[in-house]
């Protein structure tokens, strides 16, 4: 996830630079990578301590840098919180698109839902998944503009589930209305961040199987 978040950060920075610009220099690439590392460090600190319980000094110490150096990359701790959520969602969307692209064009609705559920669980409880609990607990601390920004990303991410859910509903495998099923499924999957442990009795693939058994009776 760290590598993905760094890559996503570079994409966002490159978009801001505009088209037709020269390739980034080594210094600019290093700056982008360092910013991505700081976002991951901030996510872990916010998850462990909470936003209000985390100081910029805590984040700087965890990142091995001077506190004042953080403000070269972010104007405030609030800006770091926004970056944690925004960069995390960007990479969640990228990994989801890759999971769907890897499927055959003839993939069934069940196969598509399995790929979506498996990918989302990986995002939720896999390595470097700190941004999800931060989103769940610190969402209201974003400004209105920041919430709208991240909400647009989240809506786009969740919209990719609708074709699979609608196909399953059409065949009768999914009994609930697709738009309601989507909300219920995300509510259940997101909560796994609170209780799943990779040292427990379930593997991630087994958790995916159990999820599908709950949602559509498939294993």
The token pair at 196 is 């799943």
Q: How far apart are CA 101 and CA 34, in angstroms?
A: 30
| Tokens 């989240």 -> residue | 154
Integer-rounded Cα Rg, in Å, for the chain is 19
Over residues 32-71, the pLDDT tens digits come to 888 999 999 999 999 999 999 999 999 999 999 988 899 9
Contact (CB, 8 A) for 125 and 193: yes
- Tell me how far CA of residue 193 lies from CA of 140, 147, 187, in angstroms: 19, 21, 11
Q: What angle do CA 193, 195, 201 make, to 5 degrees?
A: 115
The yes or no reply on domain 2-216 and CATH 3.40.50.300 is no
Q: What is the pTM of this model?
A: 0.80
For range 166-187, the mean pLDDT: 95
Domain ranges of the chain: 2-216
Q: Strands (DSSP E) along the chain, which ranges? A: none
How many Cβ atoms sit within 10 Å of the Cβ of residue 36?
A: 24
Least confident of 39-43, 128-132, 151-155, 192-196: 128-132
Q: How far apart are CA 193 and CA 65, in angstroms?
A: 30
Over residues 129-145, the pLDDT tens digits come to 888 889 888 999 999 99
| Tokens 């995390």 -> residue | 88
The token pair at 43 is 């996510």
DSSP string over 160-213? TTHHHHHHHHHHTS--S-HHHHHHHHHHHHHHHHHH--TTSS--HHHHHHHHHH
């Amino acid at each position: 996830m760290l590598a993905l978040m760094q890559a996503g950060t570079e994409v966002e920075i490159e978009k801001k630079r505009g088209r037709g610009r020269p390739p980034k220099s080594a210094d600019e690439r290093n700056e982008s990578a360092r910013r991505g590392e700081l976002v991951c460090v901030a996510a872990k600190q916010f998850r462990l301590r909470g936003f209000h319980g985390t100081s910029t000094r805590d984040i700087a110490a965890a990142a091995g840098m001077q506190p004042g150096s953080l403000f070269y990359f972010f104007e405030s701790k609030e800006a770091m919180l926004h970056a944690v959520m925004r960069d995390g969602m960007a990479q969640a969307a990228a990994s989801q698109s890759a999971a769907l692209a890897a499927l055959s064009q003839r993939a069934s609705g069940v196969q598509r839902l399995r790929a979506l559920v498996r990918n989302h669980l990986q995002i939720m409880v896999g390595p470097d998944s700190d941004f999800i609990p931060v989103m769940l607990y610190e969402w209201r601390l974003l400004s209105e503009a920041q919430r709208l920004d991240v909400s647009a990303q989240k809506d786009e991410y969740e919209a990719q589930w609708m074709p699979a859910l609608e196909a399953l509903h059409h065949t009768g495998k999914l009994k609930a209305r697709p738009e309601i099923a989507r909300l219920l499924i995300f509510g259940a999957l997101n909560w796994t961040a609170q209780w799943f442990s990779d040292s427990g009795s379930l593997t991630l693939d087994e958790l995916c199987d159990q999820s599908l058994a709950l949602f559509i009776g498939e294993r």
